[in-house]
Structure 1
Amino acid sequence: MDQSPESTEPEIVSREEVPAAVVRATLRMEELPQLFDRAYRLVASVLEQQGLEPGEAFARYLTMPGETMEVEAGFTTTGPVEPEEDVVPTTLPAGEVARLTHTGPYDTLSSSWDRLGRWIGDQGRRPGAALWEVYVTEPTPEADPATMRTDLYWPLEG
């Protein structure tokens, strides 16, 4: 098995729709860290106030990176969130997705996304839009970047 930062073989899985709460923004790539810092704190606070449990931390890219991109950052939830401040409800969609687990630092995620995109094409499938990352390892100061796990999900068209 490949033990590079990508660590797992891509696979196609079916997912059920999952409710989530996010902060949505249109921004430049270099602004992502500030969005993430603000969004995760704010969404966690709103969920606590509304009596909902946060699930997986994720970021969903609604548009592909260009000059700017549209991004949602937040948590899956145990139920629908009521909009409050910049927090809005959304869902991670149901359907077939290509999945890959990336183990390693965030700055090597692009190589895993490239690998997953090539693999989708090799399967004769077409990638859809609005791909997302689930941050399995919490990015604390104590976390070892070499062992951080991020699950990548890329929806597939028909």
Structure 2
Amino acid sequence: MKKFLIVLLVIVVILGLVTLVLPSEISVERSALINASPSTVFEEVNVLKNWDHWSPWKEKDPTIKNTYSSVPETGVGSWTKWTSEEEGGGKLTILESEEPTHIKNQLDFEGMGTSYGEWDFKATENGTEVTWSFTGDMGYLGRIFPGLLMDGMIGPEFEKGLANLKEHCESKAEKAEVQVEEVTIEQPMWFVGIRDSVNTNDMKTIHGKIYGEISAFMQEKGIKQIAAPLSIFHVWPESGQGTVHLEIGIPVQDSVETTGRITMGKVMPGKTVMTTHFGLYDNLGATHMLLNEWMRANNVTVAGAPWEVYVTDPGNEPDTSKWQTQIFYPVQ
């Protein structure tokens, strides 16, 4: 018996020493192919409230309760906190959001430190290849339960989550409808505008800056705005990420004299197809995708740069679900 206890003690000591030299960082990764556009899948991850549609943990633990950031509601800086009677609490914050290709988030678990999750969305012929990965320094726990064991614990949860996400997105894609109107622009529409280029990551800030510059010019010259502001997208990168060449403007009655980088632009007469997007600007990409799918299905050929008209002034309407944006594509 004494010999057995000595051997057991030696084994415990050896295991303790081994855990001190084993790496504490773990990583888990799973992928799935989803028959939906990258924008559709991206939206389900980038809008944290949408996680309720597919989260494996919500399904597993009904005691989980979430609260969400109000500003911002989506993308970089948005967060959700949760409490659970079974699993404790924590917080998830989006650190990077590159529509529609990449998201990185930070996870802070009560008593377990900080970890990171990443999402990559790659367009393929059959839909979107989605990769969900997790890395974190689990401290002593990570040494006791090394990589392979943790992969076996977390991996199935990721697989379940991706399966739920696939089912939800594919069902959503099947049900998705876009109301399209054929609109003929009868008369040219002048606008005071600025043409610029911007990285897709900075799209959220450029509009306010340029509209402020144009508005100041118009106020100084006593020029009256006659319709909702617009943006024309002359060049959009095929990958969804990169440099966008756009023209931002405010419609006016007629051509006026301009200075500096402020110029006159014109929306030309012709045939267009138009749909109305309701909700946050972050989700406009999905509506563009639906309109493009409608055009392909109906053999409609695009004949120029699309533009958006921002019908609702966010300063006058706090309910984001009521924000209206009209999307126009000139067609043959």
TM-score category (smaller protein): 0.7 to 0.9
C-alpha distance in structure 1 between counterparts of 2:327 and 2:294, whole Å = 13
The alignment's TM-score, normalised by the length of structure 2, stands at 0.43
Map 1:26-105 onto structure 2 (within 5 A).
26-54=197-225, 55-65=227-237, 66-105=241-280
Q: Which of structures 1 and 2 has the bigger CA Rg? A: 2
Q: RMSD between aligned alpha carbons?
A: 1.9
Task: Evaluate the alpha carbon distance shift between residue 20 and residue 32 of structure 1 in structure 2; reply closer, same or farther with a 3 A threshold.
Answer: same
Map 1:8-19 onto structure 2 (within 5 A).
9-15=179-185, 16-19=187-190
Asked if residue 23 in structure 1 is aligned to residue 194 in structure 2, the reply is yes
TM-aligned CA deviation for residue 69 of structure 1: 1.4
The alignment-based identity, stated in percent, is 21
Query: How many aligned residue pairs are there?
Result: 152
Amino acid at match of 2:204: P
- Who is 2:126 aligned against? none
Range that drifts further, 120-129 or 137-146: 137-146
C-alpha distance in structure 2 between counterparts of 1:96 and 1:141, whole Å = 32
Conservation of the 8 A alpha-carbon contact between 1:50 and 1:81: no
TM-aligned CA deviation for residue 125 of structure 1: 1.2
C-alpha distance in structure 2 between counterparts of 1:127 and 1:95, whole Å = 12
- Who is 2:37 aligned against? none
The alignment's TM-score, normalised by the length of structure 1, stands at 0.87
C-alpha distance in structure 2 between counterparts of 1:33 and 1:80, whole Å = 29
Answer 1 or 2: which has greater strand percent: 1
Conservation of the 8 A alpha-carbon contact between 1:20 and 1:77: yes
Provide structure 2 residue ranges, at least 5 long, that are not aligned to the other structure: 1-175
Provide structure 1 residue ranges, at least 5 long, that are not aligned to the other structure: 1-5
Answer 1 or 2: which has greater helix percent: 2
C-alpha distance in structure 2 between counterparts of 1:30 and 1:83, whole Å = 30
- After superposing on structure 2, the runs of 4+ consecutive aligned residues of structure 1 that deviate more than 3 Å are none
C-alpha distance in structure 2 between counterparts of 1:83 and 1:114, whole Å = 36
